[in-house]
Each structure stands twice: as structure tokens, then as C-alpha cells.
Amino acid sequence: MLVCTSPLATAREAAFTNNLIGNARSGKSFMFKSQRNTFKSYRNPYHSKRRRRFSPLWLIVPSIPLVLILLELLARFAIGVSGHSKELANYKGEPPIVTAYRLKFLTPDKKPYEGLSNQGELLAQRNLSVGYGLASSQQNSVWQINEQGFRDDRPLPLEKPANEIRIFILGNSTAFGQWNQGNAATIAPKLAERINGRVAQQKRSPEKYRPDVLSFYRPEREKALALPPKIRDGQYRVINAAVPGYSSGNHLAQLALEILPYKPDVIVVLGGYPDLMLPSNQEAAQIPEIEQFLTNAPGHYWAYLTRSLQEWGKSMASYKAVQYWVLKPEPSLAQRTLGAMDRGQLLGKQLAGDEAELDRRIERYRDRYKQMIQLSAGASVPMVLAIQPEITGRSPDRMSEAEKSILQELGKEYQQKIEPSYGKLAQANDKLKKAYPNNVYIVNFYTLDAKGEKAVGEAFVDPIHLTEEANTLLAKRLYDAITGIPKMQIVPKNFAL
């Protein structure tokens, strides 16, 4: 039989034959190699899978919750053993005194604004007339707020007792007594103690004061007039109505709506600094970012979720332990000084950027206080306008090391701006005194260290907040101003002769 083969088939057969002969000479089996190669190619994918390394994420991710739980348990144990359980129960990642004085804003029906910072213990309730005010009947270890929302240990009835003489102190956090350890360390009770002490002394030693009736004889009359005048007899009560963050616009609304109904005999306003910090396009201090917060629903919801997550994290014992013992965070100087009113800038940047802006802020200050003087004059109530202290007004040779450190941290820009700003506040008060000479009395505390006066050791804990010793000094000077008001003095008979 004739078989026809193609050239391609012939070439394949020749290659196969040569390969078979070569394997035979080398002693290898073609079929074994072929089978081995076939088996090897079949097992290659299997071997590659067995040799693949497992990713550590498969072990790390599931273990994270277990590690967190373990850390939380260890932190709870450490806190319990250390004896700081009570102290850390309400710890918010900052010194307890800061949390105690930090504001927590509430709606008019006393519910927290979800999404706003709610770290503080001092409750402030939104009020459309005055912006916000302190919630009534609250207290902690360092302050007490009475039923009327004033920093006072007792309630203040609207009906004034016949023998009670009421002095109201309006102001911001300086007058409120920020960072002071208790109500008794603030200006108001110290002033009340001094004035009531004067009344008691008048009764014990009447000969040391002007008599109730002056003699017609000139030598005796002149001798009697050289003695200090008696002040009105009665029980003096000084009410601390100051609210942290308040500026002149808040004071005006507060005086008209909340203070005058209590029939004050004297009104003291200690302020100025917030007006230098508040932009001129704002009439008064408000709850920070409240309008944007209420008009932006998506932003409100996102802020609520973010804040809730943050609050949950801060409530964990492990977070508190790390913050308290390891990190020990401190608020910035701006946060300590302005509290909730801080806008996240250095204090020097929050002062007026140019002369025109400063003039607008001073004009707002003067206009608001002018209206307050008119209101108080209409009610026959004398007013004491006091410019609050500020650290750059202190004599450098009397500063403590801590105060010098504060001054250095404030920086050159702040120091260059603040002194002329306080100078314009003083000029505004002088103009008010000139316009209303019989209704307003001016006190300037910017230069805290008066000549011939006993030096205060450490006066400032930040640029505007005072130690108890400095509060005592301010109470003494306010006492001098109030007892010098003719309406607070007893006019002897025959005085006009």
C-alpha cells in the first residue's frame, strides 16, 4: 500500500525519532518525563496557593475591639486604684476648673443644643432679648447661681425689704469671678462686707464721722465737715449680675429688662474688654455660630453626629486616663480669656485691625453706655462706670513670674494694640461723665497698681481674670467710689448754710 506523507508530517516524525534516540542514550524515559511534566504543571497552581502568605490585617482588624476593651478595663482599674474615680467621673480632657467655668448653651426650654460644644458645667440659656443669660438654680464646687440667674448664694425677691440697699454689679467674666474658688472670692461679697462694716462702724463710733446736725459756729462746723460723711443706714446687698462674655449691648438690654425691676440703689458696670474684641458689625455677644447652626439643617445634623461621637470617645476611661496623666492638655490663652466667645484666633488678631474699626467699636461702647446712663438717671439710680483691669496696665516691677510669662505669650501685636484701645475707652468714659456729671461716676482699673497703695502679689491668671487678692483690691476701690456718691451719703442738717 502506497502511503503519501506531507513534508510537515515527515519533519514531525523526524523530530520525534531524534528526541527518542537522545533520551534512550542518556538513560531517561521520555514517557516518565512527559508524565512528570504533566503532573508538575497540574500541581503548580496548588503549590502557589499553599505558599501564599496570609495578610496580618486578617489578624489585626478583629483584634482591635478586644484591645480597646482590654485598655478600657485596665484604665478603669488604674483610675480606681489611684483614688481619682470621683475626680475623673466628669473629666472632659481639660483641667476641672476650666470645665466648671465653661459655658454650656441651652435652648429657651432648657435643652442642650445638640451639635454645639457642650463640655461646660455653667448653663447659659438662650434669650432673644439679651442674647443669653445664666440658667437659674445651678451650682457646682466653685460657683452657685440663684433662682434669678445671678451669682449669689441666696434668692433675690423682686420686692425689696424696707431697710435693704441694693448694689448691682454688671459685667463680663472678670466681674463674674472667672476661675475664682467660690462665690466668696469674687468682688461682690467682698464689697458687701466692706460697706456693711462701714455701717457697723458708724454705729459703734459716731464721733469719727460727720454729725447728723452741723453747728452754726464756723470753727465747729469746719471741724465737723473735715470728718468723713456717714453713708445711708441699712443692710447693703451687692448682687453679682455679671455674665461671662457680655459686652455693652448685653448690659443695656439686661439693665432695662432684668435689673431695674429689682429697684437698685446703685449700678456698677465693670467692662470694656469685650467691646474691644467684638467686631463692630455685631451689636452684642450671642451664642457662638447660633444663626448658622439653626439655619443649616445638614450641617446641624453632621455636627450632631460628630459631636456625639466625640462625646462618646471622651467618656471612655482610657481617654480620660491618657489625657489626665500623660497629655495633660491646657486651653490656649485666647480660650481662657474669652471662653465661648473665642473665635479661634490669637488675641492680638481679635483686636481692631485699624483705627477706623477701633473707632467704630468705641462708638458702639459709648452709645450703649449713654443709653444705660439715661435709663438709670430716669430711675434716679447713680451709675458707676468702671473700666476693667488688663494685664498690660500692671507695673512690670510688680508682676510675678507667671504674669510675665502671660505677657510674653500675648506677643508684640497684642501689646501694641491694647494700650491705645484702653486709652480710647477712658476718653469715651470721660465724655460720658462730662455729659452727665450728676449721674455717672468713673473708675479706671486699667492701671491696677496705684501709687501709695499696697502692692498686690499676683493679680492676673490670664490677661483679664483676677486672683482673689486682686478682687479684694477692686472691692476696696469700688467701696471708695460708692461711698463718695452724694446720694449714698447722709446729708447733715444745716449742711447748705
Instruction: Tell me which of 207 and 60 has the higher pLDDT.
Output: 207
Q: Which CATH architecture has domain 155-299+342-488?
A: 3-Layer(aba) Sandwich (3.40)
- Checking if the pLDDT of 326 tops 50, the result is yes
Residue of higher predicted confidence among 311 and 124: 124
Task: Determine the pLDDT at residue 338.
Answer: 92
Number of neighbouring beta carbons within 10 Å of residue 151: 25
pLDDT band of residue 303 (cuts 50, 70, 90) is: low
On the question of pLDDT at 294 being above 50, the answer is yes
The residue with greater pLDDT, 92 or 38, is 92
Of the two residues 484 and 306, the one the predictor is more confident about is 484
For the chain, give the mean pLDDT.
85
Nearest to 428 by CA among 436, 87, 216, 13: 436
Stretch 167-180: mean pLDDT: 97
pLDDT in tens, 230-270: 999 999 999 999 999 999 999 999 999 999 999 999 999 99
Whether residue 222 is predicted with pLDDT greater than 50 in this model: the reply is yes
Stretch 435-446: mean pLDDT, rounded?
95
Kindly state the percentage of the chain with pLDDT values over 70.
81
Q: Specify the higher pLDDT residue, 81 or 338.
A: 338
Lowest mean pLDDT among 224-233, 275-284, 337-346, 385-394: 337-346
Q: In the predicted model, what is the mean pLDDT of residues 455-466?
A: 92
- Give the pLDDT score at 451: 67
Burial (Cβ within 10 Å: 0-12, 13-18, ≥19) of residue 289: middle
Instruction: Quote the pLDDT of residue 408.
Output: 95
Q: Please tell me which of 14-28, 198-212, 308-322 the model is most confident about, judged by mean pLDDT.
A: 198-212
pLDDT at 13: 54
Q: Where are the domains of the chain?
A: 155-299+342-488
Of the candidates 339, 291, 323, which has an alpha carbon nearest to the alpha carbon of residue 103?
A: 339
- 15 pLDDT band, cuts 50/70/90, is low
More confident call, 97 vs 7: 97
What mean pLDDT is predicted for residues 284-297? 75
Strands 122-127 and 131-134, by their bridges, are antiparallel
Tell whether the model's pLDDT for residue 19 goes beyond 70: no
The sign of the CA dihedral 471, 252, 289, 124 is positive
**What is the pLDDT at residue 41?**
45
Among 39-53, 99-113, 367-381, whose mean pLDDT is lowest?
39-53
**Residues 150-154: what's their mean pLDDT?**
96
Asked if pLDDT for residue 3 goes beyond 50, the answer is no
Range ranked top by mean pLDDT from 111-115, 234-238, 342-346? 234-238
